[in-house]
């Protein structure tokens, strides 16, 4: 889960009919112009519906084996997945995050959800199964070296350079192909969550010295939310 600070004016706190109800539960969204998923329309209502149905779960932290291996492909797109998505949204809100991967609540499955503002203050809410990041052409690789944090590394932050534009391809909770586009802080979120599902934490992209500093910060802090003790 990505953490930080962001609002519509800057960065949001902590990196805000039956047919319609079924559509919301599935975590699906319409396709916007250009072929990218429309994850903006009714963002607040969709997040609220997921969270109301879900139950917040404790979060895994660095050192838990589920965080350090690639997750299993999602192959079943039914009620169990829909319930997992609801719990992930509830867990994300409880921890004040903007994105959460399934292995961060101990589930070995390639799925993440997000509720994240971009740098223009636009709120994006959605779910991606089996995500794959596009390789960007050189002209699109403009790096942003902003601070990054993770609720699986609670209380710690460190600058990390990532492209300020990202495209993720995958499936929605009904198994339909989707493509999600992100810029700025939202691009960082998409990259961060996809990394989780391939067994990487953001600290794995830091130098040994930087990683040591982050783990020191974590050791000196107290999480604001329930975590799973490592064995």
Residues taking part in catalysis: 193
Q: Residue 172: helix, strand or coil by DSSP? A: coil
Beta strand spans in 119-205 (E): 123-133, 143-144, 147-150, 153-159, 162-163, 165-171, 177-183
Distance, CA of 16 to CA of 43 (rounded, Å): 10
Distance, CA of 226 to CA of 58 (rounded, Å): 5
Q: How is residue 31 written in tokens?
A: 């396709």
Rounded to 10 deg, the angle between the 18-26 and 79-94 helix axes is 70
Torsion angle (degrees, nearest 10) of CA 19, 23, 24, 26: 140
Q: How is residue 191 written in tokens?
A: 């990259």
Contact assessment for residue 88 and residue 58, using Cβ atoms and an 8 Å cutoff: no
């Amino acid at each position: 889960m990505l953490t930080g600070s962001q609002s519509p004016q800057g960065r949001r706190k902590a990196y805000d009919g039956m047919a319609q109800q079924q559509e919301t539960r599935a975590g699906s969204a319409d396709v916007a112009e250009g072929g990218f998923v429309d994850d903006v329309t009714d963002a607040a209502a969709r997040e609220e519906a997921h969270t109301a149905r879900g139950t917040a779960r404790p979060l895994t932290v660095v050192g838990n084996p589920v965080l350090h291996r690639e997750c299993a492909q999602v192959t079943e797109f039914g009620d169990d997945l829909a319930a997992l998505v609801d719990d992930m949204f509830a867990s994300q809100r409880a921890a004040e995050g903007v994105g959460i991967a399934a292995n961060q609540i101990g589930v070995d499955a390639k799925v993440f959800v997000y509720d994240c503002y971009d740098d223009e203050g636009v709120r994006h809410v959605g779910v991606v199964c089996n995500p794959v990041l596009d390789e960007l052409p050189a002209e699109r690789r403009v790096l942003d070296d902003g601070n990054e944090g993770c609720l699986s590394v609670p209380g710690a932050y460190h600058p990390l350079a990532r492209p300020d534009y990202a495209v993720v391809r995958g499936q929605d909770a009904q198994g339909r192909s989707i493509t999600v586009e992100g810029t700025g802080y939202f691009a960082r979120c998409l990259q961060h969550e996809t990394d989780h599902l391939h067994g990487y934490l953001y600290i794995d992209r830091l130098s040994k010295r930087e990683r040591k500093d982050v783990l020191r910060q974590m050791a000196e802090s107290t999480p604001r939310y329930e975590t799973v003790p490592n064995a």
